[in-house]
Amino acid sequence: MPQVVDFQTVSIAGLESSPVATALAGLRAHEARYFKNKYDHVFTVEPAGEAKETIAWVHRILEKERGLVIQARPLEATAFEVEKIRMAYVFYESGLSINVMYAIDDPKKRAVGFKLSVGMDVPAELAARFKFATQKSKLAGIVRGSYFVIKGEY
């Protein structure tokens, strides 16, 4: 059952097993606030066991585009469409968040983004391949992020 992410009262519900649960909850709330403000979209997530199709789609893109296999366990995921852009998010136990932005009409507007919660190390599978920039967030503290452009069709 999908759970609405409340960005005004941040909760670790669904993320309790993460060693950085509070920071990951802030990161998840940060994304919820962005989509509410920009698209008036209510950001919901569901447990990984109920979001297998979304997680498989994200993992397939990572594997085919960059040969990446994420070692952390997915906790939650979501998939939705706003303004002809298919979005997917996977939140991992390690504190990692991966999102896919896949414009339906424009192959030049397709990318995978990585965000790291405060307190987590850069995952080994990403460390040698990506540089992470930082940004400040009221909800997530300092967020480190990186991305790559998707070249294939998914």
Is the CA virtual torsion 34, 48, 90, 115 positive or negative?
A: positive
29: left (phi over 0), alpha (psi -120 to 50) or beta: alpha
Residue 145 Ramachandran class (φ > 0 left, ψ -120 to 50 alpha, else beta)? beta
Residue-level pLDDT at 137? 77
Beta-strand ranges (E) seen in the chain are: 3-4, 44-47, 74-82, 85-92, 96-103, 110-116, 133-137, 141-149
**Rounded mean pLDDT of 66-80?**
97
Tell me the per-residue pLDDT of 5-26, one tens digit each, with 9 for 90 and over: 999 999 999 999 999 999 999 9
- Residue 27 has a pLDDT of 95
User: Mean pLDDT over residues 130-148, rounded?
Assistant: 86
pLDDT at 104 over 90: yes
pLDDT at 93: 98
Specify the pLDDT at position 139. 73
User: What is the pTM for the complete model shown?
Assistant: 0.94
| The residue to which tokens 């997680």 are assigned | 55
pLDDT tens by residue, 26-72: 999 999 999 999 999 999 999 999 999 999 999 999 999 999 999 99
